[in-house]
């Protein structure tokens, strides 16, 4: 005689599918975040490379000038960020819309603002401890990048590329 497998009393009919769906949604979000981090790594390499060129060519230990350098170098990675995130991270294959570009520009300006605030704070905190200009500038930049990653992902995921991402996650 074949025994019929019974569900535990704590699992109601239909809950298994809901649990599986939630797991799939979270798994897709995690994969998306990991792709975002890889794109961010490429952009950070561009950003830090440009920062080092500026620090090498125009050395400074002035925090305000470091913030200006940061704005320029942060924007240098923006173009690759837009296209890599649009087509690879968030899987938007449709033609780029004016709305997407405007949202991206607004997000980028917000990111530059909080990145500058973070780099200014990190620069002020690290300036008494690190005397080498290049090490100080890079350490300040890396602290700002580390803190800003989650906020940046949230802006891109839930606003810049929101509609398509929501559809993807729910399917």
Q: How far apart are CA 131 and CA 67, in angstroms?
A: 18
Find, among 56, 58, 44, 57, the residue nearest to 119 by Cα: 44
The least confident of 6-10, 63-67, 115-119, 128-132 is: 6-10
* Angle between helical axes of 63-76 and 15-57 (0-180°, round to 10): 120
pLDDT in tens, 86-144: 888 888 788 888 988 898 889 888 888 888 898 889 889 988 999 898 898 888 888 88
> Is pLDDT above 70 for 152?
yes
Q: How far apart are CA 60 and CA 68, in angstroms?
A: 11
Question: DSSP states of 102-124 as a string?
Answer: HHHHHHHHHHHHHHHHHHHHHHH
* pLDDT-based confidence at residue 68 (cuts at 50, 70, 90): very high
Q: How far apart are CA 161 and CA 92, in angstroms?
A: 8
* pLDDT-based confidence at residue 57 (cuts at 50, 70, 90): very high
HSE toward the beta carbon, residue 86, CA cutoff 13 A: 17
Find, among 79, 77, 99, the residue nearest to 87 by Cα: 79
HSE toward the beta carbon, residue 52, CA cutoff 13 A: 10
Q: What pLDDT is recorded for position 163?
A: 61
Q: What pLDDT is recorded for position 12?
A: 53
* pLDDT-based confidence at residue 166 (cuts at 50, 70, 90): very low
Tokens linked to 4:
């019929």
Q: What's the mean pLDDT when you consider all of the chain? A: 81
> Is pLDDT above 70 for 5?
no
The model's pTM is 0.62
Find, among 135, 112, 9, 4, the residue nearest to 61 by Cα: 135
HSE toward the beta carbon, residue 44, CA cutoff 13 A: 18
* pLDDT-based confidence at residue 52 (cuts at 50, 70, 90): very high
């Amino acid at each position: 005689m074949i025994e019929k497998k019974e569900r535990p009393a704590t699992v109601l009919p239909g809950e298994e599918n809901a649990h599986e769906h939630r797991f799939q949604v979270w798994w897709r979000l995690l994969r998306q975040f990991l792709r975002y981090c890889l794109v961010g790594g490429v952009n950070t390499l561009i950003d830090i490379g440009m920062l080092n060129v500026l620090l090498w060519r125009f050395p400074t230990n002035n925090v305000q000038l470091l913030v200006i350098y940061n704005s320029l170098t942060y924007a240098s990675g923006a173009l690759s960020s837009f296209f890599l995130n649009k087509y690879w991270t968030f899987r938007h294959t449709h033609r780029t819309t004016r709305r997407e570009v405007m949202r991206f520009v607004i997000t980028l300006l917000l990111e530059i603002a909080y990145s500058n605030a973070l780099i200014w704070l990190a620069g002020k905190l690290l300036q008494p401890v690190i005397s080498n200009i290049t090490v100080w500038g890079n350490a300040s930049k890396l602290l700002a990048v580390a803190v800003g990653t989650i906020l940046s992902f949230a802006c891109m995921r839930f606003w810049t590329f929101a509609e398509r991402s929501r559809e993807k996650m729910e399917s």
